[in-house]
Copies of this chain bind each other. A is one copy, B any other.
Amino acid sequence: MVKLSRKERKRAERKEWIIDAAEEVMRRSGFESATMDEIAHEAEVSKGTLYLYFKNKASIHLAISERGSRMLNQSLSKILLLELSGLEMIKKMGQSYLGFVQQYPIYFTAFSYYENLISSNETYNGELAIACEENAREAMTYIVRALQIGMQDGSIKDTYDPKELGIIIWGASKGVIHMAFHKESRNHMRILDDVDFSLDSIINNFVELLGTGMKND
């Protein structure tokens, strides 16, 4: 049993190593343009080996998304442990999400990609996809928990259903950060060119706006 476990550990390490390589290649070329040959080369294995560890290219992408969402959850979960009002927790989560996106843009790109492909690809049903969904569900529970805390401590209106409000906050945050993020990282999206607000300013105002909307008077 010990031997099997060592083998498994080695296999897991190798898998992580391949994900590292894939992240690097995708950082350079984007998910579409990254080829399996490139990834294999970067990981210093043959192409065939990639397929011993991952079913196909989409699986590699999913593995990156899973890793990213797990990391994000870790930082969100900590917020619930702080001595804050529910409303402040929600605000903190927004900032935390932004910080995550800024620190690891590759994961944000991966998430966006994931959501676009999920509907059209068979692979997005397997084990890894379920893990991603599970992570997303977990993130949602953190938000809902903070909302419930806020409704209890009186910092957040209790006229909304916390679950529904959670979906709204989650979706809206993603949308705003998506937009603001693209403003930072691209030469395209010219809608935003004649607007010189910083990403932080946009997010802060957004959090303020949502906060006012759900604040208890």
Q: Which residues of A contact B (CB under 8 A)?
A: 29-33, 112-113, 115-121, 124-125, 129, 133, 136-137, 140, 160-161, 163-165, 167-168, 170-180, 182, 185-186, 188-192, 195, 197, 201-202, 205-206, 208-214
> Which of B171, B186, B191, B205 contacts A165, CB < 8 Å?
B205
Contacts of A163 in B (CB 8 A): 195, 197
A116 near B113 (CB under 8 angstroms)?
A: yes
> Which of B124, B191, B211 contacts A136, CB < 8 Å?
B191
Q: Provided the pairs A205-B165, A209-B160 are in contact, do residues A116 and B112 lie with their beta carbons within 8 angstroms?
A: yes
> Which of B117, B161, B210 contacts A213, CB < 8 Å?
B210
Distance in angstroms between the alpha carbons of A2 and B86 in the assembled complex: 69
B32 near A186 (CB under 8 angstroms)?
A: no
Task: Using CB atoms, name the residue of chain B closest to A112.
Answer: B116
Q: Provided the pairs A140-B191, A167-B195 are in contact, do residues A172 and B213 lie with their beta carbons within 8 angstroms?
A: no
Contacts of A211 in B (CB 8 A): 213
A168 near B206 (CB under 8 angstroms)?
A: yes
Distance in angstroms between the alpha carbons of A174 and B173 in the assembled complex: 10
B209 near A119 (CB under 8 angstroms)?
A: no
Contacts of A174 in B (CB 8 A): 175, 178-179
A119 near B30 (CB under 8 angstroms)?
A: yes
A172 near B206 (CB under 8 angstroms)?
A: yes
A188 near B30 (CB under 8 angstroms)?
A: no
Q: Provided the pairs A172-B175, A176-B171, A212-B213 are in contact, do residues A195 and B120 lie with their beta carbons within 8 angstroms?
A: no
Give A109 Cβ to nearest chain B Cβ, in Å.
Answer: 8
Distance in angstroms between the alpha carbons of A212 and B160 in the assembled complex: 13
B209 near A167 (CB under 8 angstroms)?
A: no
